[in-house]
Amino acid sequence: MRKVAVIIAAMIMVAGLNSVLIPDTEASPHDPLKGILTVPALFDTNSYFVVGDQAYCTDVLGTAQIAYALALGGSENPAARTDTLLTREERDKGNLIIVGGPAVNPTATEFDGYFGISYYLEYNGSFEIRCERNSIYLDLENYPYEDICIIYLGKLSSRNVLLVWGYGWRGTLAGSMFMGDPANWQEYSDAHMIMLRWKDYDRDGLVETEEITVERYI
């Protein structure tokens, strides 16, 4: 019943109505991984990119950014799946790089719950992502010229999981671009959770690296 409520809440978000999503509190807690410098080794084999079947193509472009950096780190290129094509065995045994948020990617909704990631959406008001007593806030009056994103690296049983998603596709792409730059792995080498903000300072509609800033990390 709780899972149904979570799915409905995500659907409400897409429709543009007031909604609150708190992931399944009955799920068992799982350990984070420290830190993102280890990403190439963690996702070297048996790994899968997972994007939403209904997501914008920019989520797919984001996986290409991450794949490039993984290759530079010596990792094999993960296989690509949509949430509908991901098999049960791949989901249960594979290392997953989940790109795109709960509104378009049900796999993100599920794994957010395992790692205690939640969000609060007030239509035409604000959007906030919360995780491990940290949060990042977006005034929706500034959207689409501003967006936010969470990057989370965790371990679920024997699998490694990387979540990258924003309020909108621009936030998700900003997070993917951030993870696509190995220099960021060095600077935030011990971090397993990063919250970042993108601002379109020149109003050209493009997500550019110089427009991305980190606001929280642990």
pTM, to two decimals: 0.86
Q: Given pLDDT bands bounded at 50, 70 and 90, which one contains residue 30?
A: low
What is residue 7's predicted lDDT score, i.e. its pLDDT?
Answer: 34
Rounded Cα distance between 21 and 63, Å, is 25
CATH number for the domain harbouring residue 88: 3.30.379.10
As a whole number, the mean pLDDT across the chain is: 87
Each residue's pLDDT tens digit, 138-162: 999 999 999 999 999 999 988 999 9
Rounded Cα distance between 88 and 96, Å, is 12
In the predicted model, is pLDDT for residue 11 greater than 90?
no
Total of domains in the chain: 1
144 phi, psi to nearest 5 deg: -100, 15
Each residue's pLDDT tens digit, 69-126: 999 999 999 999 999 999 999 999 999 999 999 999 999 999 999 999 999 998 779 9
Q: What is the domain extent for residue 91?
A: 2-217
